Structure 1
Amino acid sequence: MAEELLAKHDPKLDYVVKYNHDSPNPRELPTPVEMKRVARPLRHIHHVPVKSLIFYSKRHAPQFSYETKIKTPIPKDMISVQVGFVGLNPVDLKIFNSYRSHMNYEVGLGREYYGTILEVGSNLKDTWNVGDEVCGTFWHPNLGKGTCESTILVDPSVDVVLPKPVNITAQQSASTFYCLGAAFNILDKLEKADKLNQDSNILINGASTMTGIFALQLLKFHYRILNKIVLVCSTSGMNFIKSNLPELSDELLFIDYAATSGKIYKPLSDLVASNELVEYDNDSGNFVTQPFGQGSFNLVLDFIGGYDIIGHSSAILSKDATYITTVGDYKSNYKKDTFNSWGSPSSNMRKLFGKALWSFDYRIFYFDPNFKLALNEWPQTCHELVAGGIIKFIPVDRVFDWKDHQKAFAHLKTGRVHGKVVLKVEKF
């Protein structure tokens, strides 16, 4: 049949047979054709980007890094904290000075902090909540980690993390627990060793340092020391303490180290021998005599260093006195001092042999604020002392934006800081 139709040369049948095409023709495209962008599907972010202030050696200024990333979800026993303020300490300068050659890894700055919790590990949800304001210490000097980061991972079993006391500012909370912890641990050990009681006769060398200011408040407001406490500091330090702790004015005696030409032992030995202190009163322009009557010192807290008091200990210290130093025989030099450096040979001898060679007990105090070593529960105690108003004065010297970190460290290096230097960390 098909052959007969093809023989008639019907064009229509010829087309059907040849192509067997029975579908309709395609529709024409509308004109003009418009191309539209389609949004990509949202992707889950598996990390939190972090901006860090780091350095590689003391020969290169600190700089910002963006290499750190915090994986999410965070480990079940940790919390992540968005840092708001960082308190700087002299130990930060010592750590910086310790890296004399260029390292192949970043070293962080900052040992204490204030911030807000961003994420809570699954095992800690009964203890902490997102949004909690917290503060504490972050002690990892040998692991290259610091608090000068936009976000840090905190392990509460290792790092000290405390709720921010409601009666102090965020800047103060970033400035408290490293130095207060050091001062409390010194005095707590002395009390437990029967070296500290209400009748102790105490000398503080470097009283206007942050640790000295906290030690003074602990001695008077917590341990209730009855005797007058003798403070060695500058004239500006004396005025600073008097103006901010006026309730202690009649319980303190001040010796201006600058007026002694580096020979602190002279006014101290005269004080012990004569049982009175003669000093110049700037307000009246007259010399004023203040009674002492407490004799030789049985406890010295040294936050400055130097050999002057030790070299004349027989005229200043009582038999069986205790001398605690956080520095050693060498005076602090923030431009050169290094972290974990050895003291002088004489200080090491005193530390090793003690009363076998000298009549007084000499101790070098090293503070490691890791929570896992806090057998005396000092973080909770110090938090209670601050929240309860026992610690009345937490000085903040200056607050710098962390882009001005070079100015902040330069200011800290002067050694003439009254209170804590604080960095304000930007949100990132």
Structure 2
Amino acid sequence: MTTQETPAATSAVPSKPLSPTMKSWRVTASGEPAKVLQFGDVPVPKLKKGDILVKVQAAALNPVGYKSIKWVPSFVARRSKAHEFDLTGVVVDANQTVFKEGDEIIGVNPVPSVYLNGYGALAEYTKVSAARAVIRPKNVTPTEASGFPIAGLTAYQALFHIAKLEEGQSVFINGGSTSVGSFAIQLAKAKGARVAASASGKNEQYVRGLGADQFFDYTKQPLHEQLIASDPNPKYRVFLEAVGIIDPTLFVESEKYLAPGGVFLSVGPQGSGYLNFLWKVLLQPSWLGGTKRTWKMISVDPTRKDLANFAKLVEEGKVKPLVDSVYSFEDALKAYERLQTGRVTGKVVVKVDPTVS
């Protein structure tokens, strides 16, 4: 059976919640996680058509998790009764969907869904749309698989849906040690592409271990200068900026290392200086010195089809899990502290069910 077929029950069916409430990390206002995330009781979610009720095993944190609660208004932030987005778990109410009680799944509640519908991953139970879940591959544990959806599908959709990466083409990944960058290296290699990637020197072996053919240490010299000096032949077909920097220089100089017809992809600018960025990247016409290359921002849509295709690559051993560190459910704030250092390689995971591996 492939991951896209109707799944069969895979484990003993856990009991449904005995209480109308459950433990969860909910959002109380907008701000820093340490100040606005509160551990306590919230109602067990009620299902709508197409939803499944899942007993959460593990949840992976994402940078958008702590960044979004800083900028969304408090009245929106407070709608999140259970924060975060990526999870693994066991179906306890299949609700007449393609799943069965007892199925062990990977699921994702996208950012808008968590703020609109109120339930994310950091809870004992959550609801997930059956259209955003697949059976977890058996060659990875719940903890390992919990970080696949957002980072993995961001890389997958960027390379294959937007850039249309093909075998034999070359790709440059800025931020090869980030979660998105790390998955992108593996996915590009699985496609048969040649991969160059950047990171700090201390992460060179990590990045090469993922499959990068060429490595650039961005701490030694401005990266665009290193790329120009390397004079790639052929030039890169795809440039994936997985860090979120707002400095437009890499794009402005990209004609020297990005092939005509190539695409410069970005997870989105982060930081101050938006006016200069918008002018240099989006508004400046070529006759006024604008760059003759295409810039696109990645917006992930975690569909079941793409999640199933990603899971198949995991089953085949072509994509491996990326786990930086694991924290207990009660220590979720410490997990956020780790994530916010900016020095993680892989996913920071919160083990909601202490009995799983």
Distance in 2 (alpha carbons) for counterparts of 1:189 and 1:426: 35
Aligned length: 327
CA contact (8 A) 1:182 1:367 kept: yes
1:232 correspondence with 2:201? no
Distance in 1 (alpha carbons) for counterparts of 2:133 and 2:286: 39
Partner of 2:130: 156
Change (3 A) 1:354 1:132: farther
CA contact (8 A) 1:86 1:425 kept: yes
- Provide the identity percentage: 23
Distance in 2 (alpha carbons) for counterparts of 1:102 and 1:94: 16
Partner of 2:240: 301
Partner of 2:324: 397
Distance in 1 (alpha carbons) for counterparts of 2:204 and 2:278: 29
Partner of 1:203: 172
Which secondary structure does the structure 1 equivalent of 2:130 belong to?
Answer: coil
Change (3 A) 1:354 1:49: farther
1:343, distance to aligned residue in structure 2 (A): 5.1
**1:184 aligned to which of 156, 174, 177:** 156
**2:21 aligned to which of 32, 40, 49:** 49
5+ unaligned residues in a row in structure 1: which ranges? Answer: 1-44, 273-292, 332-336
So what's the TM-score if we normalise by structure 2?
A: 0.82
CA contact (8 A) 2:88 2:107 kept: yes
Change (3 A) 1:316 1:51: same
Distance in 1 (alpha carbons) for counterparts of 2:40 and 2:92: 21
Q: Letter of the aligned partner of 1:224 in structure 2?
A: G
CA contact (8 A) 2:264 2:295 kept: yes
5+ unaligned residues in a row in structure 2: which ranges? Answer: 1-16
Q: Letter of the aligned partner of 1:384 in structure 2?
A: K
In the TM superposition, what are the counterparts of 1:250-265 in structure 2 within 5 Å? Answer: 252-260=213-221, 263-265=222-224
1:231, distance to aligned residue in structure 2 (A): 1.0
1:326 correspondence with 2:298? no
Partner of 1:82: 55
Which secondary structure does the structure 2 equivalent of 1:207 belong to?
Answer: coil
Q: Letter of the aligned partner of 2:84 in structure 1?
A: G
1:394, distance to aligned residue in structure 2 (A): 1.3
Partner of 2:106: 135
**Whose Rg is larger?**
1
**1:388 aligned to which of 316, 322, 342:** 316
Distance in 1 (alpha carbons) for counterparts of 2:283 and 2:248: 17
Distance in 1 (alpha carbons) for counterparts of 2:48 and 2:166: 45
Change (3 A) 1:400 1:89: same
1:423, distance to aligned residue in structure 2 (A): 0.4
In the TM superposition, what are the counterparts of 1:23-172 in structure 2 within 5 Å? Answer: 48-55=20-27, 56-58=29-31, 60-71=35-46, 75=48, 77-99=50-72, 101=74, 105-107=78-80, 108-121=82-95, 123-124=96-97, 127-139=98-110, 140-143=113-116, 144-157=118-131, 160-172=132-144
Q: Letter of the aligned partner of 1:389 in structure 2?
A: G
Which secondary structure does the structure 2 equivalent of 1:232 belong to?
Answer: strand
Q: Letter of the aligned partner of 1:58 in structure 2?
A: G
Q: Letter of the aligned partner of 1:218 in structure 2?
A: L
CA contact (8 A) 1:95 1:141 kept: no
CA contact (8 A) 1:354 1:362 kept: no
1:150, distance to aligned residue in structure 2 (A): 0.6
Which secondary structure does the structure 2 equivalent of 1:50 belong to?
Answer: strand
CA contact (8 A) 1:53 1:64 kept: yes
